[in-house]
Structure 1
């Protein structure tokens, strides 16, 4: 799993740009964090939905590609449950189901106090090609 973590840490330039740090990777699972900075805030000084989505989307990508084959998102849904203004956000992805072509994942985004900030559900199409690691 270290190769998967290294692959995404080195190659996901958007996640790096917005300040997302990948913490853990195991088969079908991933965890990351994002320390909230001023550039993550929207016009009313709460964390922008796109920042929360990006954090959830990274762990979705890592968990779904953790089997070593290319997995591409085909459908996602996010629900924002709590506004956050400061601190650190964490996202954790868990595989719900997998077959040779499709897999589904649940992602929870929480704050420093382990309060649920958002829930994200995603489905991937699993290609036959190996991840280039």
Structure 2
């Protein structure tokens, strides 16, 4: 385990943290980067690429997100926006933008925490190295992992790096109840990403939500000419796993149930959309709807996840 701090106080654009260290965007082995950008109206910050995905969070000021497909969204303070693999995004405005950029087999998310008291969670991954970041927005906090502690003032960030199958207990004490803390988490999944192996591509990710797409190939079909039920479940499971993880802590599936409503005869693609039903302290319920390229509802899948976060 490794812990280090970075300062966000000046308005210059800079990289805060790279993993692996001493790499930069464009390097062959570039995997993940946390950065802050000073936005300008005339010069757009550009993100995206075939293997890149990123999350963006406006820390102060105002801004606008322009996607290659023509979407244009207002950047509001502390609203989280994603740029998925294969997309391109331009950001303009006036203020500061925090973003994490991931390459290849890396999955991650950003959450907004408002703890009223000490927060405790189990951290680490069993399938790859992981990196976590915590930022104090309107106050400071104290963070401790297995006895190693660090104090973080407002407008500072703490980064925690953990190796594959290294686990720890994280405790976080806010300077004042209900203050805003940004939590970002990433894990190096490759080659442990079955969903990506069969072709699942994420379209949108949010706090407890996810939308994913699978372009149907011949190997996804069964002998009677419909998409195999196991393929449908994998699409739902991959999307719901992202949604569950975004709610915080390490989550594991404890129950799932799939209802096949219509046969998927040779669709061009399938889209899965995850919506939370109830996010409890320990149990988190979701429903996934899978539709074909004609918007016909193919199946619904219910999931119950258990959170190992205290």
TM superposition score normalised by structure 2: 0.39
Residues in 2 aligned to 1:81 and 1:67: alpha-carbon distance in whole angstroms? 29
Residues 1-133 of structure 1 aligned to structure 2 (within 5 Å): 2=55, 6-7=106-107, 11=189, 13-84=193-264, 85-128=266-309
4+ runs of 1 displaced by more than 2 Å?
none
Question: Could you report, residue by residue, the CA deviation over 1:13-56 in whole angstroms, capped at 9, with x for unpaired residues?
Answer: 20111011011110010000001100000011210000000001
Structure with the bigger percentage of strand: 2
Residues in 1 aligned to 2:280 and 2:243: alpha-carbon distance in whole angstroms? 14
State whether residues 32 and 91 of structure 1, in contact with CA within 8 Å, keep that contact through their aligned partners in structure 2: yes
By relative contact order (CA 8 Å, sep 6+), the higher-ranking structure is 1
Residues in 1 aligned to 2:267 and 2:294: alpha-carbon distance in whole angstroms? 12
State whether residues 267 and 293 of structure 2, in contact with CA within 8 Å, keep that contact through their aligned partners in structure 1: no
Structure with the bigger percentage of helix: 1
Gaps of 5+ in 1: none
Residues in 1 aligned to 2:274 and 2:250: alpha-carbon distance in whole angstroms? 17
SS at match of 1:97: strand
Gaps of 5+ in 2: 1-53, 56-99, 109-186
Aligned length: 128
